[in-house]
Structure 1
């Protein structure tokens, strides 16, 4: 569980850090535009990283089903961390001109490829070793690394944002990216010592591995891949709208200070360390469908009050808004997700199925969320359209959950003939 969780901490540290930097510094420093145009350009490269994730999901998912979960997870750990550290030594637009954004995009693509194989492998390490009735809880344990990653990224960025503006823009923003090298060393060392999951060992022993698992899952279980895409939509759209766009909107449109937003997100993310496994555990008790439905209903009802609380500019109310948004609204849907998506597939193609379904959904809906949200408010600051966008995402996820069957009490399947399409 620790080996799984440290990777998701790294993944979400990377991506939250990039989202915060896109909202606060990449516009003027890398693109040379201190305006809405610069923010849009930054969020466009944010989306580019997500666009690369399906490629990583396909390649690394295939390898995860062929050579094992462990080997792939060592590669993703090292790759993610090195890309993040290199972002910390990027030249600026002032010193390198157009080379700066080009290098940013290259690193962002590479980072996205490695991240594409991380979440599925990390959660399968625990889900495939869990008994029915405990997969929601144990699958959520590595997923709670998302909270840890956001805490680290937000806290470190908040600390360096206390520097004088000149120091922050000159070198301070680079420090959080360079710190990631510590996580890389620890995570790679830890993952080298873990064993394979029981499910993969069983398939390997029986010599029943698929030669082309990605093609098999697309041919035999296309419905399951589409369901996984739908299941992840609301979390991606709402989560990244809050964690990336809301920071830019609150600081630039409303005038809330950067430290207030960053520490608010850090505090809310700290609570996620506890709420993600709690919601996963609760889904073991009441079922995945009901748990996710409750979360979607709360998210849809809360989105208008969320922006209203931000617009007050009151520090206490802003922090309260973030606490309701992340550990409650987002995580009621996200907590059961690891187990829910893994339960859709046969063990021989599970890595490929989860990776491709989740990462394609992330590319379409997650990476574009901050860009779309920024474009919808450009010039007006009105958040009604964004609220409608998030509610539509909740409807898509609700449909995806109810198209499939309840799986919380089922055994994980090793045979494609035992799994519905």
Structure 2
């Protein structure tokens, strides 16, 4: 029996996305990415001297190395929770990922520093970062499938992008909170101020848990479960029947991971340590740009429903290639207004034209029985290879060459990889989920 079209057997009236489901999916993603992005900000600004006893380049590299460890753990979470999500349902697994992420972040807020615990401080930091990575590795795929699998064909780009905008909202929240505590005197910031945003995760994850408890399972999974057609080993099924889709998903995510984390982590360290811009200026510039994502990510997703995923993504890639070098030049002016302009063009325009359609684009590649596994495996393996390493590679390129231009060239190479992955597949907008 052909079950790849299960989603299309569901009546159109049943495919409307429930408002509570939309809110729960989006709020959960906001909270997850608030936690995950806090670590990126802290690794750029405070973890070097606190956990590696160095504020020099070596401390920054060591801090970014632990940032990369979280990405290395994300495929583990993607494979584990993707498998369980295809076996047990999307809803149950998203409750678990929220708890893993929230508790890990709260524990970061009570960690002893290197001065207090010696070598145990970075060891515990890495352990909790691994737990964070496992939690977030299962989050994005499940959250977007909650809406994509409910959406009618002509609105999958828009509705899939709604929870995706939670990544921007989560960064806004993280940047705003971290930007606020950064206004403290340096002594207070380094002794206790940096802990406050992490401890706040307990309150946030409790709220998210209450919202997510009441959501319904997607009609796609309910249909599969009712027929007894869920796969016993969904990832193996996907790798056997659709290996190209997994590889394409990895490629589709490359430019967003490289560009996004160079902006959100590397550029913070570069701006504060090399250009001597204030922490608050850099944090608020990223926060304002990320706030605009709440509008632009759904906008780009909706546009992909009208003109096609491939056309929009390739246009976004071309713009990013043209903008990569001017972005770093604008930062180097040290002019506050131009720094804000640099971020506003880089994040909601260049990055999101590629990222906005991504949820629908990758979901439409896979069979319903292995969709959670396929999306999570491809995306999180790509994130481990290209996302977590981006700040470290950017810092290393800057140190080796003494110039920022190799970093911009690295962005261009990432765009080329994504371009190949996108044009290698067919257009999926407006089609069925077969």
TM-score, structure 2 as length reference: 0.94
- The residue number in structure 1 matching 2:413 is 392
Q: How far apart in 2 are the matches of 1:409 and 1:21? A: 42
| Residue equivalent to 1:347 | 368
Task: Supply the distance in 2 between the matched residues of 1:266 and 1:59 (Cα, whole angstroms).
Answer: 32
Cα deviation for residue 190 of structure 1 reads: 1.1
**Quick one: distance in 2 between partners of 1:276 and 1:70?**
23
Deviation per CA, 1:288-319, whole angstroms, max 9, x where unpaired? 00010111001000010000000000000000
Counterpart of 2:287 (choices 261, 266, 278) is: 266
Choose the corresponding residue for 1:122, options 139, 143, 155.
143
Give the distance between the partners of 2:203 and 2:284, measured in 1 at CA. Answer: 22
Q: Which residue in the other structure is 1:141 paired with?
A: 162
- Is residue 251 from structure 1 mapped to residue 237 from structure 2 by the alignment? no
Q: Is there any run of 5+ residues in structure 1 with no aligned partner, and where? A: 414-421
| Offset at residue 380 of structure 1 (A) | 5.1
Q: List aligned pairs for 1:11-410, cutoff 5 A.
A: 11-378=32-399, 381-410=402-431
CA root-mean-square deviation: 0.8
Matches of 1:176 and 1:318 in 2, distance apart?
Answer: 25
Alignment partners' CA distance in 1, 2:400 and 2:323: 24
Residues 345-391 of structure 1: per-residue CA shift (max 9 Å, x gap): 01110000000000000000000000000000016541111111110
SS in 2 for 1:144: helix
Q: Which runs of 5+ in 2 are unaligned?
A: 1-21
- TM-score (ref. length: structure 1): 0.97
Could you say what secondary structure the match of 1:295 adopts?
helix
Do the aligned residues in 1 keep the contact of 2:330 with 2:339 (CA within 8 Å)?
yes
Q: CA deviation at 1:11?
A: 2.3
Deviations 1:2-25 (A, max 9, x none): 111112112221222111100110
Asked if structure 2 preserves the Cα contact closer than 8 Å seen for 1:253 and 1:381, the reply is: no
- Residue 110 of structure 1: CA displacement? 0.9
In 2, Cα distance between equivalents of 1:370 and 1:381:
16
Report the Cα distance in structure 2 between the residues aligned to 1:15 and 1:368, rounded to whole angstroms: 15
Distance 2:73 2:51 in 1: 21
SS in 2 for 1:195: coil
Instruction: State the alpha-carbon separation in 1 of the partners of residues 369 and 187 from structure 2.
Output: 54
How many aligned residue pairs are there?
Answer: 413
Q: Which residue of 1 aligns with 2:8?
A: none
Asked if the contact 2:36/2:132 (under 8 Å) is kept, the reply is no
Render the CA deviation track for 1:262-312: whole Å, top value 9, x for unaligned: 011110010000000000000000000001011100100001000000000
Q: Give, in whole Å, the separation in 1 of the partners of 2:197 and 2:400.
A: 31
The superposition leaves residues 39-71 of structure 1 with CA deviations (integer Å, 9 ceiling, x where unpaired) of 000000000000011011111000000000000
Query: Does the residue aligned with 1:184 lie in a helix, a strand or coil?
Result: helix
Alpha-carbon contact 2:255-2:411 (below 8 Å) kept: yes
SS of 2:228's partner is coil
2:9 paired residue number: none
Shift of 1:120: 0.2
SS at the partner of 2:153? Answer: coil
Question: C-alpha separation between the residues in 2 aligned to 1:23 and 1:134?
Answer: 38
